[in-house]
């Protein structure tokens, strides 16, 4: 049993999340007033360290007895390799991840002439402009629609302030993305207050659609690739033979049709020489299978959905494979 002083050291290391350094001699002595590295003593120390999830670096068992060692907690698995605490990982996707939510808006002052509003919106292909006299407050928005309504109402003014509306909302950059999207579709346009209270945006339905079309595209392409592989196998192979090749499945799910196979199992079927000969595909087997392994790796990455976007190279490979399989299917 280790001394109370040693247990106190262990508790401080765990509580403070800080390692401690000392000589090997002091470490062994602190454990139980015994400085010898006998097999029994080393075994007791290692057993206690394992129980407490601690490690000694470098190993205290070998080398000069007065060399310095470090006693520390064994690294625990983290969500990401650079995440040191739960507070550093946000499980909620925030409004701030949208590119449009970090852009400085092109704005116009309320005293400006309508001609300037026409020019800015036409030149930049904007449907609206925020009316701002400083970088921290949106006074209103002016749009082609609000201008048209003003002209129909025969307003005599030619100033922006008389044609602006309050059809917008300002949200904090930490607003959940889900809640922000609902607000975008409700009022058409939102602005974002940054960490320093400056206004960013605007975020429109176009920005949301553009962002999520990009998110959805890999899933659609993967489904198309998988469906083409299913077509290649359809009505070509005997179910009993497929089962014998795949043997036991880890999920214990019965195989009754091609649709019951996983993507990895499609590859196992295509790797089989007998099946490959039956399918009579006009591809180089090794190349095609290697490409499917690459698609499978991309599939695994895509399934770990990230609101921050995916890899452009992965997307290009998915497009290439999907188009290739489609062309073959349409021409075979």
How do residues 97-124 score in pLDDT, each as one tens digit? 899 999 999 999 999 999 999 999 999 9
pTM: 0.61
pLDDT at 323 over 80: yes
In this structure, are 228 and 321 located in the same domain? yes
Please write the tens of the pLDDT for every residue from 170-187: 999 999 988 999 999 999
Write out the two tokens for 82.
């650079």
Note whether residue 79 is domain-resident.
no
Note whether residue 301 is domain-resident.
yes
In this structure, are 241 and 259 located in the same domain? yes
Among 147, 181, 204, which residue terminates a domain?
204
Note whether residue 89 is domain-resident.
no
Between CA 20 and CA 70 the distance in angstroms is 6
Between CA 202 and CA 188 the distance in angstroms is 10
In this structure, are 139 and 59 located in the same domain? no
Domain range for 284 is: 209-331
pLDDT at 303 over 90: no
In this structure, are 301 and 252 located in the same domain? yes
Number of compact structural domains in the chain:
3
Between CA 126 and CA 120 the distance in angstroms is 8
Q: Are 164 and 155 in contact (CB under 8 A)?
A: no
Write out the two tokens for 290.
């290697």
In this structure, are 158 and 265 located in the same domain? no
Note whether residue 281 is domain-resident.
yes
Between CA 322 and CA 301 the distance in angstroms is 17
Q: Are 325 and 228 in contact (CB under 8 A)?
A: yes
Looking at residue 144, which CATH number applies to its domain? 3.10.580.10
Note whether residue 86 is domain-resident.
no
Note whether residue 124 is domain-resident.
yes
In this structure, are 12 and 68 located in the same domain? yes
Higher pLDDT, 173 or 213: 173
Among 155, 170, 204, which residue terminates a domain?
204
pLDDT at 245 over 70: yes
Q: What is the pLDDT, as a whole number, of residue 318?
A: 94
Q: What is the pLDDT, as a whole number, of residue 307?
A: 47
In this structure, are 214 and 312 located in the same domain? yes
Using DSSP, state whether 230 is helix, strand or coil. helix
pLDDT at 309 over 60: no
Between CA 253 and CA 260 the distance in angstroms is 8
Note whether residue 105 is domain-resident.
yes
In this structure, are 192 and 140 located in the same domain? yes
Higher pLDDT, 92 or 178: 178
Write the burial class of residue 51 (CB in 10 Å: 0-12 exposed, 13-18 middle, 19+ buried).
exposed
Note whether residue 84 is domain-resident.
no
The radius of gyration of the chain's CA atoms, rounded to the nearest angstrom, is: 32
Between CA 22 and CA 43 the distance in angstroms is 20
In this structure, are 227 and 317 located in the same domain? yes
In this structure, are 8 and 104 located in the same domain? no
Among 178, 204, 230, which residue terminates a domain?
204
Largest CA distance in the chain: 99
Per-residue CA distances from 311 to 13, 225, 298, 306, 320 (Å):
40, 18, 9, 11, 14
* Residues ≥6 apart with Cβ < 8 Å to 61: 37, 42
In this structure, are 168 and 182 located in the same domain? yes
Between CA 86 and CA 79 the distance in angstroms is 9
In this structure, are 221 and 305 located in the same domain? yes
């Amino acid at each position: 049993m280790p001394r109370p002083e040693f247990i106190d050291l262990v508790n401080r290391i765990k509580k403070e999340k800080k390692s401690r350094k000392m000589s090997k001699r002091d470490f062994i002595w602190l454990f139980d007033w015994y400085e010898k590295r006998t097999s029994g003593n080393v075994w007791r120390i290692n057993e206690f360290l394992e129980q407490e999830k601690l490690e000694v670096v470098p190993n205290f068992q070998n080398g000069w007895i007065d060399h310095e060692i470090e006693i520390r907690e064994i690294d625990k698995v983290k969500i990401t390799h650079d995440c040191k605490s739960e507070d550093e990982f946000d499980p909620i996707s925030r409004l701030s991840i949208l590119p449009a939510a970090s852009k400085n808006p092109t704005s116009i002052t309320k005293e400006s002439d309508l001609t300037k509003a026409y020019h800015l919106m036409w030149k930049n292909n904007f449907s609206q402009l925020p009316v701002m006299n400083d970088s921290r407050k949106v006074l209103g928005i002016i749009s082609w629609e609000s201008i048209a309504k003003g002209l129909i109402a025969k307003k005599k003014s030619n100033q922006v302030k008389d044609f602006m509306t309050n059809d917008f909302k300002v949200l904090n950059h930490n607003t959940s993305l889900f809640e922000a999207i609902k607000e975008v579709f409700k009022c058409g346009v939102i602005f974002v207050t940054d960490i320093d209270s400056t206004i960013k945006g605007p975020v429109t339905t176009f920005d949301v659609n553009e962002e999520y079309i990009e998110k959805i595209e890999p899933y659609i392409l993967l489904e198309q690739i998988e469906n083409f592989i299913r077509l290649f196998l359809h009505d070509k192979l005997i179910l009993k033979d497929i089962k014998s090749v795949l043997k036991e499945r880890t999920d214990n799910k019965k195989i009754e049709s091609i649709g019951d196979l996983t993507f990895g199992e499609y590859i196992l079927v295509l790797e089989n020489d007998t099946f490959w000969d039956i399918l009579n595909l006009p591809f180089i087997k090794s190349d095609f299978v290697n490409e499917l392994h690459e698609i499978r790796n991309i599939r695994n990455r895509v399934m770990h959905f990230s609101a921050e976007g995916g890899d452009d190279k992965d997307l290009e490979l998915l497009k290439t494979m999907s188009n290739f399989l489609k062309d073959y299917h349409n021409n075979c």
